[in-house]
Structure 1
Amino acid sequence: MFFDSGYTPLPGEPGGQRWLGCTANNREYALLLRHREPRPWLVCVHGTEMGRAPLDLALFRSWKLHRELGLNIVMPVLPMHGPRARDLPKGAVYPGEDVLDNVHATAQAVWDIRRLISWIRMQEPESLIGINGLSLGGYIASLVASLEDDLTCAILGVPVADLVDLLGRHSGFGRDDPRRETVALAEPIGHMISPLALTPLVPRAGRFIYAGVADQLVHPRRQVARLWEHWGKPDIVWYPGGHTGFFRSRPVQQFVEDALQQSGLLDDPSEQRDRPA
């Protein structure tokens, strides 16, 4: 499915005019797996360099969630990813070195997903809705879960908590590099668009996090543990691996299914069966 995003920076917002020049972001795309009858929904938010159907379907195990567990699945494409990355200026990526582009991309991602959730509610007013994010998608999901009422659960996989802190840590700048001052100046902006600055609206029993103890990209302490503590120390699983190790982790797969079951998105196990798509 696709629809016009409708996101527009406020007049005079720094970087707003440049952001509007990235016209491929004006249209939102989402992959939809929907049952004929009303079913609970899971919004799956991809990570960096994803937004491609085969990869997203595999990493979220979407067909199993849809066919075996009976969920409606919708996978939105984030700004500057997939078909929304066409004709971007050279070097423009999300997340990237341009702090203001990161701000607008984050704001538009949250805007688009909230519009998508509104559409779901119009389609099936009584259906439960959860959100599930990976890496950058976990960051976006945590923001949505702090702004959107009535989500049943939020499952954050290897989630980023502070984008500026993450990019600064991986910048490669030496101790005496003057560019480190730019990172320091950007720290308040990072806090402004961080879930650490917001209060989660998802009930505590519906909050779930998983992460790798050896993650070299999203630091377990600087990123994940801070978000876990801010979210009230909800159920968390640490798997023995790096950033992408979740895909082959049986404990993570079971944790996600248990989270969906505990949240009420799944039928009783005795009632689950293969369902036609």
Structure 2
Amino acid sequence: MFFSKTIDRLALYDLHRKRSKDKHFSAFSMDTIAENEFYKSSIADVSIILNESRKKYMIGTFSYESLIPSGDLVNDTLTGEVFLNENDIDKPNVIFVHGWRMDSYDRIKKIFHHRIMKDLGWNMYYFSLPYHLEREPENSLYSGELMISADIDRTVESTRQAIVDLRALIHWIKANKKGPVIIVGVSLGGWITNLTATLEPQIDAVVSIFYANRLSYSIWNTIPGKFIREELEQHGVTYEDLIRYWEITDPSQAVPKVNKDNILLISAKHDQYIHLEDADYLWERWGKPERNLYNCGHAGIVLCRKKLASDTLSFIRKKLKR
């Protein structure tokens, strides 16, 4: 336990060496709206450019315009990497959703990519979250700075943009591919994946790894959110306020539209980024779907790559055989 927590704290120290220089606070001003309407989506107009062939795969990028424009042209053009099996008749389609502040897909690729290409031949899509990677504006200090911040409204709208655009990609895959759609989210990507699972019935299986649950809880009670919390408190925002403002982003407020038997939750007992207490809360609210608990911290994303890959891929393969 001590070793796991120490590694996480060292990583968090490094994380906070780069933090927002500008203040982001804005007060909450959104009207109350039903969740299904707020996250309503349609099919994306996806463009795929394939420029490489390797190991029976066609490799390139997919892109489409966001269905929820933020007004920032860079952020509103969604671009991700795609790997399509050359014999794509009914291959499963796996969408990977990365974590907060990730500036590449490398951490996810190091877990899954080689094994899927070598042993399974599934199609893979790497989805970019708002204000991350290629969607990071020039005025952003780091990838993801503008997605989660003390700007209460923009954080909600960024969440909405992520969910609506992810659902739009799922709809496109369902309309253009024959194979099932699986969503795999890591950390913040797990939170987005979980929230999407409460809204989108066309998902065939979900794996959520070291996932965040209530964003308000994470910002108020964990080390990664401490500077955002400080800024909110400076403007008189209480924890109770934040719970209310961000309630529409809480996946534990609804039950999944995905079959519970097709959901795998993976958590780390000593996670300093995402407390097990909050991860437990989602698991219980969802009726206790299949779950794996690792004896590590959040750094298990790196240190437990082989186990993560084995557990995740075994679960998906088992569900696809039904």
TM-score past 0.5 threshold: yes
Q: Counterpart in 1 of 2:115?
A: 64
Q: Counterpart in 2 of 1:16?
A: none
Partner SS for 2:246 = helix
Separation in 2 of the partners of 1:72 and 1:265? 17
Which 5+ residue runs of structure 2 have no aligned equivalent? Answer: 1-61
Partner SS for 1:24 = coil
Q: Counterpart in 2 of 1:241?
A: 296
CA-to-aligned-CA distance 1:112-166 (integer Å, 9 cap, x gap): 1111111111221x31111100010000001111111131111000111111211
Separation in 1 of the partners of 2:138 and 2:94? 31
Q: Aligned pair in 2 of structure 1 residues 179, 165: CA closer, same or farther (>3 Å)?
A: farther
Q: CA deviation at 1:238?
A: 1.1
Q: Counterpart in 1 of 2:73?
A: 23
Which 5+ residue runs of structure 1 have no aligned equivalent? Answer: 9-18, 267-277
8 Å CA contact 2:98–2:105 kept in 1: the answer is: no
Q: CA deviation at 1:180?
A: 6.2
Q: Counterpart in 2 of 1:273?
A: none
Separation in 1 of the partners of 2:134 and 2:259? 34
Q: Counterpart in 2 of 1:80?
A: 131
Q: CA deviation at 1:50?
A: 1.7
Separation in 1 of the partners of 2:84 and 2:192? 23
Q: CA deviation at 1:254?
A: 2.2
**Aligned positions of 1:1-277 closer than 5 A:** 1-8=62-69, 19-20=70-71, 22-36=72-86, 37-38=88-89, 39-58=91-110, 60-88=111-139, 92-124=145-177, 126-169=178-221, 170-171=225-226, 181-221=237-277, 223-249=278-304, 250-264=306-320
Q: Aligned pair in 2 of structure 1 residues 178, 7: CA closer, same or farther (>3 Å)?
A: closer
CA-to-aligned-CA distance 1:12-34 (integer Å, 9 cap, x gap): xxxxxxx42x3311100111011
Separation in 2 of the partners of 1:180 and 1:61? 44
The TM-score normalised by the length of structure 2 is 0.72
8 Å CA contact 1:239–1:251 kept in 2: the answer is: no
Aligned-residue RMSD, C-alpha:
2.2
Separation in 1 of the partners of 2:85 and 2:163? 25
Separation in 1 of the partners of 2:202 and 2:66? 22
Q: CA deviation at 1:179?
A: 5.1
Kindly provide the amino acid, as one letter, of the partner of residue 261 in structure 1: R
Greater mean deviation of Cα atoms: 251-260 or 35-44: 251-260
Partner SS for 2:226 = coil
Q: Aligned pair in 2 of structure 1 residues 98, 178: CA closer, same or farther (>3 Å)?
A: closer
8 Å CA contact 1:237–1:252 kept in 2: the answer is: no
The TM-score normalised by the length of structure 1 is 0.83
Separation in 2 of the partners of 1:257 and 1:2? 26
Kindly provide the amino acid, as one letter, of the partner of residue 254 in structure 2: L
Q: Counterpart in 2 of 1:274?
A: none
Partner SS for 1:33 = strand
Partner SS for 1:66 = helix
Number of positions where the alignment pairs a residue of Structure 1 with one of Structure 2: 250
Separation in 1 of the partners of 2:105 and 2:290? 29
Q: Aligned pair in 2 of structure 1 residues 40, 90: CA closer, same or farther (>3 Å)?
A: closer
8 Å CA contact 1:211–1:246 kept in 2: the answer is: no
Kindly provide the amino acid, as one letter, of the partner of residue 226 in structure 1: Y
CA-to-aligned-CA distance 1:156-197 (integer Å, 9 cap, x gap): 0011111121111242668xx665644431211222111112
Separation in 1 of the partners of 2:116 and 2:141? 37
Percent of paired sites with the same residue: 22
